[in-house]
Chain A
Amino acid sequence: MKFTAQRQALFEVLQKTHSIVASKSTLSILANVLIEAAEGRVVFTTTNLQVAIRAETPADILEEGGSTVPARTLFEIVRELPDAEINIEVDAEDVVTITCGESFFKVLGISKDEFPHVAEFEGEPLFSIERGVFRKLLQRTSFAVSREDPRHFLTGLCFRVEKKRVTLVGTDGRRLSRVSHAVDVAEDYSGEQIVPIKAIEELEKMLGDEGDVLVFVSGNQIGFKVGTDLLVSLLIDAKYPDYSSVIPSTFATVAVLAREEFQAMVRQASLLTSEQSSSVRLQFEKSRLVISASSPELGEARVSMPVKLEGEPLSIGFNPRCLREALSSLDGEEVAFRLTDAVSPGIFLNDDDFLHLIMPMRLPPTQEPAPETEESAPESTDTGEQVES
C-alpha cells in the first residue's frame, strides 16, 4: 500500500476515529487503526469491540492495499507534522513508513487480517433521516437510558421501525422516554434493535447539522452513516420489554406549569435533598404548586409557584434530577404534567410524538419529620420491575 495525502485531511480523519481507541485492551489489535487504500480514497477504521468508526479521505493512491498501525502513534505523528503532503507506505511485512518533507518515521504495524470484520454498509440504507431531527430524537431519549445495569436492555436505546415510523425508547427502569418520527421504509418492514448507549454517545458527537443520516442494519450490527463517516455498533443481545402497559391512558390530574420556572423551583428544593432522602414533594393545590424537600441531616426547603390545575389536588414525590432532566428535554413555555395518584407515574407529552414518563418515589408521611427507612430505595426497584413487566 502506498498513498499521499494532505496532512490536514489526514489529521481530521484520524481525529474522528481516534476517540474510541482503547488504551488497554485484551486484544492487542484494537490499539491499531485499520488503513485501506483503494479507488482514490483511504479508509480508516477503529473499534473497541462495541463501536467501530470508519472515516475516509480522498488521497493519491500509488498502490492499493491495507494494513493496521498503532493508532495513537500515527495520530501523534500526524499531529506534529507541518501542513504538507504526507506519504505513507506499507511493505509486505507491515512495516509502515511515514515521510513528510524532512521527517521520516518507521512504525511496526500488524497484518490487516488480524482486524475484526466491521460491516461495510455500502448501498441502500434501511432509512434516512434529517440530522437535526435525528439529533433531537436522540437528545430526548438517550438521557433516560441506564449507564450500567446487569439488565443489559436497560443500557441501550431501542430503535423500532414499524408502519413507516421509527420509534426510539430509552429507560433506566425509573423513567422512560419515547419519541417517534415518520421514515421512508417499506410498508411491511418491521424490526427492533437495541443500540448500546455508549454507541449513541459517540454518534451524538459525530452528528453535524446538515444533510441526512443513513441507518443500516445487518444481523448483529447497526450502522449510521453521516456524510462519508460511518459508525457501526454491535447490538445488545436481548429483547426489549413491552413497556406499553406502564403508560397510563387516563389521568385524574393535569397540571399546566411554566416550564422554566418549574425547573428552577425543583432545582431550589433539591438543594436540601440528600442521598438518604432524595425525593422532592410536589403538592398540587387549586392554583399553587408547593415543592418541598426535607432531610434530617440538612434541613428543609419549601418553594411555590402558580399552576393551572384540572382535576384533583394531589401530593406526589419525585427524584428532582429526573424531573429536571425531563423538563430540559421538553420544548415550549408551558408543560402539562399528567398524574393519576401518588403511586402512579407522571407523564409529560410534548406533542404526539414525544412522551416522557417518570415513576414517583414514596413520600414520607406528612407533617412528621421524615422517617428514613422506607424511602426511595425499595420503591425504585419496585417501579423498575413495573417498567420491565
Chain B
Amino acid sequence: MSFDSFVANKLAISMLKKALESKRIASAYLFQGPDGVGKSLAALNFAKALVCEKEGTDACGVCSSCRRVDSGNHPDVHWYKPEGRVRLVKIKTVRELIAQTGLKAFEAKWKVFVIVEADRMKVETQNAVLKTLEEPPGQSVLILISSNPAGLVPTIVSRCQEIRFLPIPRDELEEAIVEKWGPDRQEAHLVASLACGSMGSASRLLERDNLGRRRDLLNLLAEGGQRSFRKAFETVRGVDGELKKLAKDLQQREEKRVRAMGKALTAEERDAWLSESSAAIASIVREEVDDILNLLAFWYRDLLLIKEGVSTDLVVNFDMLEALRKSVAPMTAGELFSRLRAVEEARRGIALNLPVTLCLEVLYASGV
C-alpha cells in the first residue's frame, strides 16, 4: 500500500506527500472526514513514510520499518483507540501517550502517535493532551483521526493542521468496488449509491450481506400501508435479535479462547480481555443496526424526493423505482419527513450509546 494506490482524496494525499517532500512536517494533524474514506489508511501510510528507512516521499513498503508498521509492531508508531463499553479514548491511554512523547524515538527519525476516533475523548482528556499537541517534544508527530470533529474542543482543532477527507465520488467508488469485490455493474452501482462515498460502508454492504437484508426490508416496505411498516420494523428488530445472538456466540468463543490461553493470562487480564471483547462486539452490533436503519432512512428519503418531483437520478434505491412510485401516493410530504426524522433520531440515539432496543422501541412508538 502506498499513497499512489489511494482511489480518492487525492488532495489530502498530495498535501501529505508535499509535507514529506519539503520535509516540513507539522507536529499535529487532524485527519477529518466521514467514516470509511481512507483516513486511517492515510495515517498508516504517512506514518510508514515518516519512519521508512528510505526516507522518501512515500513508504517503500519493503524495508523492515515499513513491514513492521503494517503489522502494528513498529516501536515508533503508536496507535491509541477507544476502549470499554462506552468506547472512549481513556485518560490513562492519553497519559501513556504523553509519557511516550517525552522519550526519544526508538530507532526511526520520527515518532508517530495516532489517536483513532479522537472525538471519543472526554473534554478533560482532550485538555490533558493539549499541551503535548501544542509543543510535542522532539521529533513527534501526532495524528488525530475523527469523523466527528465537532466533538473536539476548538483549542484542539486550532492546534492541528487539518487534512480534510471527502466522501469518495460515486463513480470512483463504483470503480473501486468492482476492482475489489468484482460484483456485476448494476450491483456495484447500487452499492456505490448506498455507501454514500464510504468504502467502509460499501464493504459492510457486500461482506456482511446487508444487500440481502435490504431486499427483504424494502420488499416489505413496498407492500405499502401501516401493516407493511410493522412487518418491516419487525425485520429490523429481528436483525437486532439475530445480531445479539451472534454477539453472544462470539463472546462465548472469546471466553473459550481466553480459557484456552490458560496460564498465559492472569485473572485480571482475563477479565479485562473479556470485557474489552464484549464491548467491541457490542459496538459492532450497534454499527450493524445503524446500517439497517440507514437503509430505512434512504427509503423515506427517496419517497420524499419523488413526492417533491425531484429528478430520479438522485434516487438511491433506483432498482426499486416502481415500488417507490407506488408507495408514495398515499402519504403526504409531512408524514414522510417526520418518518425520516424519527429514523434519524433512532440513529442518533445509537451513536450516543443508548441501548439499541430502546432506540428501536422509541422509533416504533413514534407511530412511523
Contacts and interface: CB of A to CB of B under 8 A. Distances in A.
Interface stretch (B14-22, B65-73, B294-302, B327-335): B65-73
B100 interface: yes
Contacts of B138: 237-238
A230 to B, nearest CB: 16
A48 to B, nearest CB: 10
A114 interface: yes
A113 interface: yes
Interface stretch (B153-161, B175-183, B263-271): B263-271
B264 A116 contact: no
A72 B106 contact: no
A155 B95 CA distance: 14
Interface stretch (A23-31, A120-128, A241-249): A23-31
Nearest to A155: B102
A114 B102 contact: no
Most A Cβ at <10 Å: residue of B95, B105, B264, B266 = B264
Contacts of B79: 26
Contact of A220 (B64, B73, B105): B105
Nearest to B266: A23
B264 A70 contact: yes
Nearest to B136: A237
A235 B104 contact: yes
A113 B67 contact: yes
B48 to A, nearest CB: 15
Given A23-B269, A28-B72, A28-B73, A49 B106 contact: yes
A171 to B, nearest CB: 16
Contacts of B272: 24
A26 B103 contact: no
B242 interface: no
Given A70-B264, A113-B67, A220-B106, A238 B137 contact: yes
Interface string A79-121: 0000000000000000000000000000000000111110000
A238 to B, nearest CB: 6
Pick from B74, B75, B105 the residue with the most CB of A within 10 Å: B75
Q: Is the interface of B mostly helix, strand, loop or mixed?
A: mixed
Interface in A127-166: 148, 150, 152, 155
Nearest to B98: A150
A46 to B, nearest CB: 13
A235 B139 CA distance: 13
A117 to B, nearest CB: 5
Contacts of B103: 49-50, 152, 196, 234-237
Interface in B95-111: 95, 98-107
Contacts of B67: 113
A191 to B, nearest CB: 14
Contact of B104 (A27, A116, A237): A237
A116 B64 contact: no
A223 to B, nearest CB: 14
B78 interface: yes
A237 B100 CA distance: 10
Given A28-B73, A29-B73, A114-B73, A236 B263 contact: no
Interface string B301-339: 000000000000000000000000000000000000000
B231 interface: no
Given A27-B72, A73-B264, A237 B106 contact: no
B53 to A, nearest CB: 11
B217 to A, nearest CB: 39
Contacts of B99: 148, 152, 155
Nearest to B100: A49
A26 B74 CA distance: 10
Interface residues of B, number: 33
A310 interface: no
A24 B140 CA distance: 23
Interface in A229-259: 234-238
Interface string B138-181: 11100000000000000000000000000000000000000000
A26 B78 contact: yes
A50 B139 CA distance: 16
A63 interface: no
A353 interface: no
A76 interface: yes
A236 B80 CA distance: 21
Interface string A1-34: 0000000000000000000000110111100000
A236 B131 contact: no
A350 to B, nearest CB: 31
Contact of B64 (A76, A113, A237): A113
Which of B102, B138, B266 counts the most A-chain CB atoms under 10 A from its CB?
A: B102
A5 B21 CA distance: 51
A235 B111 CA distance: 13
B263 A76 contact: yes
B249 to A, nearest CB: 25
Contacts of B107: 116-117, 220
B104 A220 contact: yes
Nearest to A107: B264
B102 A152 contact: yes
B80 A27 contact: no
A221 B76 CA distance: 14
B102 A236 contact: yes
A148 B91 CA distance: 14
A148 B68 CA distance: 30
A150 B269 CA distance: 28
For A70, A76, A150, A237, the residue with the greatest tally of chain B CB atoms inside 10 Å of its CB is A237
Residue from A23, A26, A70, A117 having most chain B Cβ neighbours under 10 A: A26
Given A26-B80, A152-B102, A237-B104, 18 more contacts: A23-B266, A26-B72, A27-B72, A27-B75, A70-B264, A72-B264, A116-B73, A116-B74, A116-B75, A148-B95, A152-B137, A220-B106, A221-B104, A236-B102, A236-B103, A237-B101, A237-B140, A238-B138
19 contacts: A27-B73, A27-B74, A47-B75, A50-B100, A70-B264, A113-B67, A113-B68, A114-B68, A116-B106, A117-B75, A117-B106, A148-B95, A155-B99, A235-B104, A236-B102, A236-B103, A236-B104, A237-B101, A237-B103
Interface of A: 23-24, 26-29, 47, 49-50, 70, 72-73, 76, 113-117, 148, 150, 152, 155, 196, 219-221, 234-238
Interface of B: 64, 67-68, 71-75, 78-80, 95, 98-107, 131-132, 137-140, 263-264, 266, 269, 272
